[in-house]
Amino acid sequence: MTIVDMPSPNHTSGRKKYRPEAVVIHIMEGTLSGTDSWFRDPHSKVSAHYGIGKNGEIHQYVPEMNTAWHAGRVNAPSWPLIKSAGNGLYINPNYYTIGIEHEGKEDSEWNEEMYLASSGLIKDICTNWSIPLDRLHVIGHHEIYSLKTCPGTKVDINKLIRLAGGNVAVPAVTGSITPAKMAEKGKVTTKTRLNIRPQPNTRFKPIITVDPNVQLAHDGFTNDGEVISGIGKWYYTDEGNWFWSGSVTKVSMLPIPLIEVSPAIGDFTVEQIKEASGAKAASAAKFHPFIVDTCTKYEINTPIRRLCFLAQVGHESGGLFFTEELASGRDYEGRADLGNTHPGDGTLYKGRGLIQITGRFNYEALSKDFGEDFITHPERLGGKNVNVCMPEQLKYAALSAGWFWNKRNLNASADQIDIHKPIDEGDNLTHFKMITKKINGGFNGLADRIQKYINGVAFFR
Ligand SMILES: [Zn+2]
């Protein structure tokens, strides 16, 4: 198989802690040459690992060990193996999938050349990464993102799998399986990231994903689990959940304290930050690690809390752009209520950070809580705008906003909002206005704050 290299800048190096576990089939809604230029344009911010033309030509844009940007959004996924991150969030599927684009439109027929090239490529990918060749591991893009029809109505994914030599017969998901259990207490260490499931079968969604090199205890095993790479042995835990034996090695030593396994904390995507705050992609990306840290620190850890926080902070900062008030701050001079008792305090302690921390009192309180000196160095909370901020300024711009949010107990207010109902009416509006009032002192910019929430909500439900 000849593969033409066409490197795209639109990718993430590596795959975080993940590895390819499935192939996602796409349709280009265009031509191979059009896709070549679109994926190689840094402004498009999209890519896939491969593109296949109607003549069977294969172009590679991103190496398989890197993360292509082809299926990062999740909406009402029907794919049983989607990785949940808890709280209604998902691990970005780009980290654990390989994307293949195909020339044509959603309703154009696929010819044999394209089927053959695609199935050959799928076969190689699945062999290289030990991905089972079946309908659970070769999927259409819309199974992850239901708002798209991609890869369209014409492609026969079963045919692709059959041509690749795989097994198209996937038994229907049943409510429970009753495997023959054999008691055998013991310990194993995970070799790779490992999913723990309610049944010994990958058709059941993982409950928890465990990192490599973690010790797990088991109470027993079955040989009646799903056969993966020839191995049908699965272990069960004391809670009755299951993991595949092929991903672990036995520990034959004396007992070692078990590492506490906790559910994965939701990955907060750049896209969620961008959409809910109204930020440009570059600003959202710059702030991403600091907003993640902030949300962890202040338990802004549910979809509704994150969405409200980002909509409000997005408004206050002009879309994660300004980290320092534009005005000189002279208007705050002598404001005793802000603690501005020394000459020059007004300009020195003008609004900074993503929620505009203002006045000597607040700067002092923040210094105390963070163990940092923002009195001598107020500029550490943010400098003019995101483009000129040092990483430390981005960090404290985000953290100070979380601090302010936390001081006013705004998580509790956000918790009153029902994310499945409109934000601009009824109780939802009342609570959203209350958050606005606690941040702004009034309702300035309420319409923009609401709009940001509305723009972002689809990315959090
Ligand atoms: Zn697609």
Distance from the CA of 334 to the center of ligand 1, in angstroms?
Answer: 58
Say how many Å lie between the CA of residue 394 and the centre of ligand 1.
34
Q: Are residues 128 and 192 in the same domain?
A: no
Distance 267 CA to ligand 1 centre (A): 22
Are 98 and 207 in a shared domain? no
pLDDT in tens, 400-427: 999 999 999 999 999 999 998 899 999 9
Query: Half-sphere exposure of residue 219, counting CA atoms within 13 Å on the CB side?
Result: 8
Distance 150 CA to ligand 1 centre (A): 5
Res. 260 pLDDT band, cuts 50 70 90: very low
75 Cα to the center of ligand 1, angstroms: 13
How far does the centroid of ligand 1 lie from the alpha carbon of residue 363, in Å? 48
CA 142 to ligand 1 center in whole angstroms: 7
| Within-domain flag for 223 | yes
Taking the whole predicted model, whether its pTM rises above 0.85 is answered as: no
65 CA to middle of ligand 1, Å? 20
Portion of the chain with pLDDT greater than 90, in percent = 62
* Cα 263 to ligand 1 centroid, rounded to whole Å: 29
- Number of domain units in the chain: 3
Length of the chain: 461
- 267: confidence class by pLDDT, cuts 50, 70, 90: low
Query: Over the stretch 106-137, which tens digit does the pLDDT of each residue have?
Result: 999 999 999 999 999 999 999 999 899 998 99
Residue 261 pLDDT > 50:
no
Residue 112 sits in the same domain as residue 244: no
- Is there a single domain that holds both residue 231 and residue 292? no
Instruction: Indicate whether 215 belongs to any domain.
Output: yes
> For 209-250, how does the pLDDT look when each residue is reduced to its tens digit (9 = 90+)?
888 888 888 988 888 888 887 788 999 998 889 999 988 887
- Examine the domain organization and report whether 319 and 210 are in the same domain: no
Query: From the CA of 258, how far away is ligand 1's center (Å)?
Result: 42
Find the 92 Cα to ligand 1 centroid distance in Å: 15
Residue 67's domain comprises 3-163
* 176 occurs within a structural domain: no
Residues 241 and 379 in one domain: no
311 alpha carbon – ligand 1 mean position (Å): 28
Chosen domain end from 219, 250, 281: 250
CATH number of the domain that residue 94 is part of? 3.40.80.10
Task: Judge if 325 and 439 occupy the same domain.
Answer: yes
Q: What is the pLDDT of residues 53-72, one digit of tens each?
A: 999 999 999 999 999 999 98
pLDDT computed for residue 367 by the predictor:
95
- Those residues whose C-beta lies under 8 Å from the C-beta of residue 260, and which sit 6 or more positions away, are none
| 151 Cα to the center of ligand 1, angstroms | 6
129 Cα to the center of ligand 1, angstroms: 22
